[in-house]
Structure 1
Amino acid sequence: MFTYAGAAGRNRLQRWWDAIREHPSGVLLAAQLLGILVFPFTDEAGAGRTVISIFGLFVLAVAVMAVNRTPSTRVLAYTLGAPVVVLTLAEAVWSDVAWISFVSNCAHAVFYFYTAVSLLRYMFADAWVSRDELLATGATFTVLVWAFAYTYGAVQIILPDSFSVGGEIRPLSWFELLFLSTTTLTGTGLSDIAPNTSDSPDVRAGANFARSVVMLQMLTGMNYVALVIARLLGLTLIKFRR
């Protein structure tokens, strides 16, 4: 009886593991969405935020290596991912050191953009659409949200007073950066967070550069929907017609 129960438990765990291996994009999407729900309950520079960030990076690296199984991809993923983990820990310890935060934001942005490109290559590689490739459409979108959020974080460090919240000019928290990135990429515009609208010459350059980055993200969101979603829908229709 106990042997049967143990075997059933192992079989169940094996099925779960097989599902995770078959759908790495789904795991990545779930991890990203879980982060959105958990981040508000963590301190801005506390241990909880660090653990969640490192867990997200681990899932990100696994997804990249799963959808691109070449040795060069693994080497590049490790090369970009290892410094990001170190910088995440350094930022947790020295949260008030500006240059560490700036380098960390830049490294995170590069790693997330690289992941988005890897997922796009994965989706465009086949002439048919698998279930994981459909999940990759959502995962790529959330990865781009993270990438631009870190980009905004780097912008506000080198160009202070770039953003405002409800008319108040101040540095944005990580969750506010994520919210700004989400509303911009989705094109909803339902945010009280925006590039600074002040006419002061001291902050005009930073505000204009922030607007430039926001414009690039808007164009990215439009092109993503037009190119990626349309292509996958077209391939899905062709599959059903056959």
Structure 2
Amino acid sequence: MQALTDVWKAFRLLPSAWLIVLQFMILILSVVVNYSMTYRTLSWLLGVLVLLVIAKVIRQTPMFTILGLSFVGGAVLFSSLMLVGVNHVMIQITAHAFEAAAYFSAAYGLLRYMFEDRYLTKDELFAAAAVFTLLAWGFAFLYSICQLIIPDSFQNSNMDGLQTWLNLLFLSFSLQSATGLSDLVPISAPARVLAMFQMFTGVMYLALIVSRLITLQYIAHLPKDDRSN
């Protein structure tokens, strides 16, 4: 019982850390290419847990709470429909749109939270990492929507047709981190525009967040009399 209490306290204090852990668990699970009902259910449960943590983040950060929670609710609802076998294209597009909106809302809330705080804490470090993963996931959902609306939006020498979620997420992380390691190439105009937006977002985020963390670290080492100025 005490262990559960300690876990709950840690969750309340560091929701950003839990968000990162759950996203990494989804990545590890995606290594198992298995489309059985058990696999789909476990993936859905982890996705819902991420959305619930996002709801927690939205409620704790300077964010339009009602709007953000509406995105989370819509994402849970439409992803549930997909789990039970409703695979209509519009359902998938709507689910991914709500999921992208929820992820971007949480990223925006965490950014505002980091820029309003005056001191560097452990939560700021987890929040900085969480924003990066939230943005990467959000753009991956947009890429998924793009290929559902415009087939063959991406070219892959190893795979034709619709790209897997892991391929799209790998492309998203590659573009956002400016590593350029993905063998997946945006072909359609909307896909390339999204890619350019993400490259710009990734570069600006790294510049802003590094400067912000350095500033907070500098303030933390100032004499107490200088911090109030």
**Same fold by TM-score greater than 0.5:** yes
Pair 1:185 & 2:167 matched: no
Q: 1:119, 1:140 within 8 Å by CA — same for their partners in 2? A: yes
Closer, same or farther: CA 168–16 of 1 in aligned 2, 3 Å:
closer
Q: TM-score, length-normalised on structure 1?
A: 0.84
Give the match for residue 99 of structure 1: 90
RMSD of aligned Cα (Å): 1.9
Q: TM-score, length-normalised on structure 2?
A: 0.88
SS at match of 1:219: helix
- Return the offset for 1:157: 0.9
Q: State the 4+ residue runs in structure 1 displaced beyond 6 angstroms.
A: none
Give, in whole Å, the separation in 2 of the partners of 1:36 and 1:77.
24
Alignment of 1:161-240 (within 5 A): 161-166=152-157, 168-196=159-187, 207-240=188-221
SS at match of 1:189: coil
Aligned residues: 220
Q: 2:155, 2:186 within 8 Å by CA — same for their partners in 1? A: yes
Gap regions ≥5 residues in structure 1: 1-8, 197-206
Give, in whole Å, the separation in 1 of the partners of 2:118 and 2:79.
38
- Return the offset for 1:230: 1.3
Alignment of 1:62-77 (within 5 A): 62-68=56-62, 73=65, 75-77=66-68
Alignment of 1:139-150 (within 5 A): 139-150=130-141
Give, in whole Å, the separation in 2 of the partners of 1:16 and 1:78.
24
Which has the higher mean CA deviation after the structures are superposed, 19-28 or 117-126? 19-28
- Aligned residues with identical type, % of pairs: 32
Cα deviation code 1:101-120 (max 9, x no counterpart): 11111111111111110111
Give the match for residue 41 of structure 1: 32
Pair 1:55 & 2:49 matched: yes
Which amino acid is the alignment partner of residue 93 of structure 1?
A: V
Q: 2:176, 2:202 within 8 Å by CA — same for their partners in 1? A: yes
Which amino acid is the alignment partner of residue 167 of structure 2?
A: E
Which has the higher mean CA deviation after the structures are superposed, 167-176 or 127-136? 167-176
Q: 1:67, 1:119 within 8 Å by CA — same for their partners in 2? A: yes
Give, in whole Å, the separation in 2 of the partners of 1:92 and 1:15.
33
Give, in whole Å, the separation in 2 of the partners of 1:211 and 1:88.
26
